[in-house]
């Protein structure tokens, strides 16, 4: 499954609007600085004068013109930064503004072989369109660390939840340099999906590509692509996306129908993402014994070997909030 032309054009128009907005913001900031700090504009005018003068000298084969210009521009830059900070502005206040500094809001990067490839920010927009992730985005925008509360936990349940929150924050903090997987398990309504969403939200905001599925939806989509001969191309793309995204979240594992197809697909996903060192988060209401009984030994072995298990206990928070 690939983006339609209209979907692709919609994403590219979004980038164009972002660039226009940021150019307007930068122009507004520049005029603000010119009005507040006239000396700053004088230094900018001096840069133009020096650059033209140096160009003429280089045409006259003055070999020292470029190094002298470089030194002068560095000195002017330092003076400008000092003027900004003395006036109470950040020294980078007039630097170019980007939502995504990696691709500079173009949607594309150049890989190590000089090829033009989609940026992670483009991939996340693509994921949102192709895999119905918009409702997930709305949910995690409401349910995130800023709305986290310990009020519904007491005693040992509270200690479990505090440990899970700490583990979640460490997962985010070390995500870039530390390949890691989490499995939240425990009784219904104790915060497993909430913490999975908190992590997903933070990583999306950090520019990582995240795909978030309920287990039921995940395996239903795999079955649809797998058993429809006309969907082979979509199946291949789906595999690439779920194997290659920065984080894959499978929520409520165990709510799907148990069969050989589910077992084989889950093992393939666990194995392939492990080989690619791509992180996963799984949440389930099953206990460890039920996990081992429901899934194959090799799946349980993958989970116990490559996931950090985190148990959550307590009353159903969703009922407590009523």
Determine, yes or no, domain membership for 307: yes
95 belongs to a structural domain = no
pLDDT at 321: 60
Look at residue 172 in the predicted model and tell me its pLDDT.
96
Domain annotation covers residue 290: yes
Neighbours of 119 (CB within 10 A): 20
What b/e sequence results for 240-255 when a residue is b if at least 16 CB atoms lie within 10 Å of its CB, and e otherwise? ebbbebbbbbbbbbbe
Average pLDDT of the segment spanning 126-155: 77
24-51 pLDDT tens trace: 999 999 999 999 999 999 998 898 888 8
Confidence (pLDDT) at 30: 93
Contacts 24+ apart (CB under 8 A), 3-10: 3/126, 3/129, 3/130, 7/129
| pLDDT tens-place string over residues 58-78 | 777 777 778 888 888 899 999
pLDDT in tens, 108-139: 998 878 889 889 888 888 888 876 665 566 67
Residue 174 lies in a domain: yes
- 111 domain-assigned: no
Give pLDDT tens digits for 223-258.
Answer: 988 988 777 878 888 898 899 889 999 999 999 998
Length of the chain counted residue by residue: 322
Count of structural domains within the chain: 1
231 lies in which domain range? Answer: 131-320
Q: Is residue 123 part of a domain?
A: no
CATH number, domain at 183? Answer: 3.40.50.300
DSSP 221-270: HHHHHHH-GGGHHHHHHHHHHHHHSSEEEEEEETSSPPSHHHHHHHHHHH
Q: Is residue 90 part of a domain?
A: no
Q: Please indicate, yes or no, if residue 148 is contained in any of the structural domains.
A: yes
């Amino acid at each position: 499954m690939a983006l339609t032309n209209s979907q692709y054009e919609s994403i590219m128009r979004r980038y164009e609007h972002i660039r226009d907005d940021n150019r307007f913001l930068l122009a507004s900031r520049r005029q603000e600085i010119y009005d507040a700090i006239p000396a700053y504009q004088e230094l900018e005018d001096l840069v133009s004068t020096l650059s033209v003068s140096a160009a003429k000298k280089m045409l006259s084969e003055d070999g020292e013109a470029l190094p002298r210009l470089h030194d002068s521009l560095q000195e002017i830059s330092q003076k400008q930064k000092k003027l900004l900070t003395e006036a109470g502005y950040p020294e980078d206040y007039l630097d170019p503004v980007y939502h995504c500094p990696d691709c500079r809001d173009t949607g594309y990067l150049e890989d190590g072989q000089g090829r033009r490839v989609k940026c992670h920010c483009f991939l996340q927009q693509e994921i949102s369109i192709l895999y119905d992730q918009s409702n997930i985005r709305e949910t995690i925008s409401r349910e995130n660390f800023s709305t986290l509360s310990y009020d519904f936990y007491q005693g040992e349940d509270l200690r479990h939840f505090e440990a899970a929150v700490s583990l979640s924050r460490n997962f985010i903090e070390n995500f870039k340099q530390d390949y890691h997987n989490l499995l939240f398990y425990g009784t219904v309504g104790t915060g497993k999906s909430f913490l999975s969403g908190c992590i997903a939200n933070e990583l999306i905001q950090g520019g990582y590509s995240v795909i978030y599925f309920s287990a039921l939806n995940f395996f239903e989509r795999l079955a649809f692509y797998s058993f429809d001969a006309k969907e082979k191309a979509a199946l291949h793309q789906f595999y690439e996306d779920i194997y290659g995204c920065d984080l894959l979240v499978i929520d409520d594992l165990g709510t799907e129908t148990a069969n050989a197809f589910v077992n084989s697909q889950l093992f393939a996903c666990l194995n392939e993402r492990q080989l690619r060192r791509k992180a996963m988060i799984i949440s389930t209401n099953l206990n460890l014994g039920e996990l081992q009984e429901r899934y194959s030994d090799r799946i349980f072995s993958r989970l116990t070997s490559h996931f950090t298990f985190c148990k959550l206990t307590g009353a159903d928070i969703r009922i407590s909030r009523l």
